[in-house]
Amino acid sequence: MLRARRRRSLAARPWRGALLALLAGALAAGAGPAVAAADAGRATPRIIGGGDVAITAVPYQVALWNPTRGTPLEGQFCGGVVLSATTVATAGHCVHDAEAGGLRPTTSIRVLAGTSHLRGASEPAYGPGVRDVAVSSIALHPSYDPTTADFDAAVLTLAEPLYAGSPAIDGVAAIAPIELLPASQSGSVTAYGALLQVSGWGDTSGGSTYPADLRATNVRVADQQVCGLQYLLQGGVTDRMLCATANGQDSCGGDSGGPLTATVGGTRVLAGLVSFGLGCANGVYGVYTRVASTAIGSFLRSAAGLPAAGTSTPPAPAPTPAAPAPDVAAPTSRVARRTCTRVRCTVRVTVSDALPTAGVARVTGTLQWTTRRACRRDGRRTTCAVRRKRTLRASLVGGTTWALRTPRLTKGVRYRLTVTARDRAGNVERRPRAVTLRRRA
């Protein structure tokens, strides 16, 4: 298994996809202003829509890879989360053998920690700070249901410890455990609209583009009722599941089992594990295993040998990464394609926003052109140039791609379209992109 896709495809059931979209739209329309505002303009999230992240920013992140594929780059299929020096949490479906109906053999899983880069065949071996260890045993949640992905959690026990005094890069931890979000703190942390972060080496295009370097993005907790309706034909969502979404950002295939984290009191805590979804970045919410659920949290703590929630605080063998910095970077856009007919033009642009990002809020275009009209100059009749301008609003059409559609254009007139992106933190693109347009003759 090269890369587990935890996303269930709509392609095989197009009628279901259409029905789900209609049902979700109907519920969102009746869910009140807050839901409607949050869903407006959302089309296709990705880690899709994110950016590269250093392992020292997410030292609890690990990669699961199959050694029969040769290298971590070729063999990575899921993500995981460090719970202790010898235990790693992941999604249940990452260790479940769907064909055999049991667990994958431990020999088909290795855990790579302390690096954000997946080494390929032509690259040198990792240095001493990176750990690549075997798995000695697997604990799958006893109630895991491969049909509905309920109770989608597992714990790997490692053949040797990942750290004994955590490895560091420039004095900052590169491998460190993360605390589990307890049920007592989950109310505000996982409330509707709360900001969370997801990371992994999964598909960045919603197709089959897998990066060698770790990526992360921000998502927001989605409305559980709307999410349940979107997955109605797939068995719905349960109390062990948490839904999240973002405008132009999402987790995808290969991110399974990776961390969904929140910041509590300046410390990162584990709120979820990447579980499943209907496609990637297509407007349908992503589903995560809810760590604060009693059934999930108690299983992870028990299987990893951690104290029960609220009894004591396990010692931190490595420094906790600092809280994420505010979004101060302006987004950038690039014209990907322009298509003109005999009536109007359509321009597609791709927008990127460096981490940490609050997400792209909107993309606008300023269309400028010059017309001529009769006028008088020095008492004589002549023609004068008149400059005109019109503002266009782009729509998100997929991933990080936005489209602007012009009004009807006049034959023979040259138009200049300047595109500007703005993110949700208020940062505006500093060097707007411009393109010249003419309608076809």
As a whole number, the mean pLDDT across the chain is 82
Among 256, 275, 293, 333, the one annotated catalytic: 256
Asked if pLDDT for residue 192 goes beyond 50, the answer is: yes
Q: Judge whether 117 counts as a catalytic residue.
A: no
Which of the pair, 323 or 273, is modelled with greater confidence? 273
Asked if pLDDT for residue 224 goes beyond 70, the answer is: yes
Q: Which of 2-11, 43-52, 368-377 has the highest mean pLDDT?
A: 368-377
Among candidates 6, 89, 65, which has minimal Cα distance to 259?
Answer: 89
In the chain, the number of structural domains is 2
Instruction: Write down the pLDDT at residue 376.
Output: 86
Instruction: Write down the pLDDT at residue 46.
Output: 31
Regarding whether 426 and 299 lie in a shared domain, the answer is no
Beta bridge partners of 229: none
Min mean pLDDT across 1-10, 64-73, 212-221, 348-357 is at 1-10
Instruction: Write down the pLDDT at residue 77.
Output: 93
Regarding whether 260 and 118 lie in a shared domain, the answer is yes
Among 93, 96, 117, 141, the one annotated catalytic: 93
Instruction: Write down the pLDDT at residue 9.
Output: 29
Asked if pLDDT for residue 298 goes beyond 90, the answer is: yes
Regarding whether 140 and 227 lie in a shared domain, the answer is yes
pLDDT tens digit sequence for 122-157: 999 998 889 999 999 999 999 999 999 999 999 999
Q: Judge whether 256 counts as a catalytic residue.
A: yes
Strands 76-84 and 131-140: unpaired
Regarding whether 343 and 222 lie in a shared domain, the answer is no
Residue 325 lies in a domain: no
Give the integer Cα–Cα distance in Å for 210 and 219: 20
Asked if pLDDT for residue 51 goes beyond 70, the answer is: yes
Instruction: Write down the pLDDT at residue 255.
Output: 85
Q: Which of 279-288, 317-326, 422-431 has the highest mean pLDDT?
A: 422-431
Instruction: Write down the pLDDT at residue 367.
Output: 94
Regarding whether 154 and 89 lie in a shared domain, the answer is yes
Regarding whether 282 and 427 lie in a shared domain, the answer is no
Range of the domain at 63: 7-304
Instruction: Write down the pLDDT at residue 127.
Output: 87
Instruction: Write down the pLDDT at residue 269.
Output: 96
Asked if pLDDT for residue 441 goes beyond 90, the answer is: no
pLDDT tens digit sequence for 249-269: 567 778 899 999 999 988 999
Regarding whether 199 and 262 lie in a shared domain, the answer is yes
Q: Judge whether 152 counts as a catalytic residue.
A: yes
Residue 321 lies in a domain: no
Residue 324 lies in a domain: no
Asked if pLDDT for residue 396 goes beyond 50, the answer is: yes
Q: What percent of the chain has pLDDT over 70?
A: 82
Regarding whether 293 and 390 lie in a shared domain, the answer is no
Regarding whether 296 and 348 lie in a shared domain, the answer is no
CA 77 centroid distance within chain: 16
User: Whole-prediction pTM value?
Assistant: 0.63
Contact 402, 359 (CB under 8 A): no
Residue 311 lies in a domain: no
Q: How far is CA 19 from CA 10, 23, 43, 247, in A?
A: 11, 6, 16, 22
Regarding whether 76 and 216 lie in a shared domain, the answer is yes
The CATH number that applies at residue 343 is 2.60.40.10
Instruction: Write down the pLDDT at residue 402.
Output: 86
Regarding whether 234 and 136 lie in a shared domain, the answer is yes
292: DSSP letter: T
Strands 61-65 and 332-340: unpaired
Confidence of residue 431 (pLDDT cuts 50, 70, 90): confident
Among candidates 114, 77, 84, 54, which has minimal Cα distance to 1?
Answer: 77
Contacts of 46 (CB under 8 A, 6+ apart): 203, 204, 205, 206, 217, 248, 249, 250, 252, 280, 281, 399, 400
Instruction: Write down the pLDDT at residue 79.
Output: 95
Confidence of residue 310 (pLDDT cuts 50, 70, 90): low
The CATH number that applies at residue 144 is 2.40.10.10
Residue 130 lies in a domain: yes
Among 152, 203, 223, 250, the one annotated catalytic: 152
Residue 375 lies in a domain: yes
pLDDT tens digit sequence for 226-254: 999 989 888 889 999 999 986 555 677 78
Confidence of residue 34 (pLDDT cuts 50, 70, 90): very low
Asked if pLDDT for residue 87 goes beyond 90, the answer is: yes
Instruction: Write down the pLDDT at residue 348.
Output: 92
Regarding whether 289 and 416 lie in a shared domain, the answer is no
Instruction: Write down the pLDDT at residue 7.
Output: 34
- Residue 60 has phi, psi (to 5 degrees) of -85, -10
